[in-house]
Amino acid sequence: DAPSTAFKRVVLKLSGESFCREREGGISMSEVTAISRQIKAVAETGVQLAIVVGGGNILRGKQFSQVSAAIHASTAHYMGMLATVINALALQDALENEGVSTRVQSAIRMEGVAEPFIRRRCIRHLEKGRVVILAAGTGSPFVTTDTAAALRAREIGADVLMKATKVDGVYSEDPAKNPHAVRYSTITFQDTLKQNLQVMDATAIHHCMEHNIPILVFDFGRDGNILRAIQGERIGTIVHN
Ligand code: UDP
C-alpha cells in the first residue's frame, strides 16, 4: 500500500540551486537525478504534485539586467524565465528516466518542448497521477518563481506550498551569521513580516497570507526530506495565518 500523506495536492518550489552543485552554476545531472529520486518516492504516495522550477542556477533577471546598459530589464527577466524552462526539461527527463510520468507546462508558449500552462489541463494531469513541472514562472517579468509558485498554488487549489531550500526552516536570525539563532517549527505570516524574516519574496508571502495557503520551508538536501515533508513529519518550518 502507498504510504499515507498529509496533503492531497501540493506545489513544490524547487529553486535553481537544486539543479547545480553548491556554489556552482549551470546544471549538474547528478544533482537533478538525486532530486528526481526523492520526487519519485513522493509521486509513489499518490499525492498530486506540481513543481515550480526556478532558474537562478543559470540566470537571475535582476542581476543580469545590471551587467550592461545594453540589456533592458525585462529582457533579462525573460532570459531568467527561459532558464527555468531549461531546468524543467532536465528535470522532466531525469524523472521519466526514473519511471515517473510527467508533463511540462510553460507560462511562455513554447510549442515543441512544452505544453502551455492551462489550469484545467494541469489539474487533469495531476488527477491522472502525472507530475506537472511548471516552467517560465508567471510569464511576466519583474517577479520571481516564488511568486509564480504562490499564484499556481492558489490556481490549482494546493493544500500547501512547499519551499525546498538549503536551510532547514525559518530562523530567528541568519544561522550563518548567528549560531544562536533559533529555528521555528511554526510561525505566522504576520510574525515573519514583523521580524523581516526571509521566507519567500514579499509578493509570494502576501498572496499566501491573503489566501490562506500555508508554506512549508524545509531542507531538500537531506535525502528523503521531500517525502518526509509530504507525509507531514515535523521537519522545517510551517508558515501559516
Ligand atoms: N522570472 C520572471 N518572472 C517570473 C518568474 C521568474 O521574470 O514569473 C525571472 C526572474 O528574472 C528570475 C529568473 O526568472 O530572477 C529566475 O527565477 P528565480 O530567480 O525565481 O529562480 P530561483 O531563485 O528559484 O532559482
Predicted ipTM? 0.98
Render pLDDT for 199-238 as a digit per residue (tens, 0 to 9): 899 999 999 999 999 999 999 888 899 899 888 888 999 9
How many angstroms does the Cα of residue 145 sit away from the middle of ligand 1? 5
Binding-site annotation, residues for UMP:
55, 138-145
Q: Is 77 in the pocket of ligand 1 (CB under 6 A)?
A: yes
Testing ligand 1's pocket by substitution, the residue of 145, 146, 161, 200 carrying the most ligand atoms inside 8 A of its CB is 145
Q: Whole-angstrom Cα distance, residue 23 to residue 6?
A: 34
Nearest ligand 1 atom, CA 53: 24
Grid coordinates given for 149: 509558485
Q: Which of 5, 8, 209 is nearest to 123 (CA)?
A: 8
Render pLDDT for 33-53 as a digit per residue (tens, 0 to 9): 999 999 999 999 999 999 999
9-240 CATH fold: Carbamate kinase (3.40.1160)
pTM: 0.96
Boundaries of every domain in the chain: 9-240
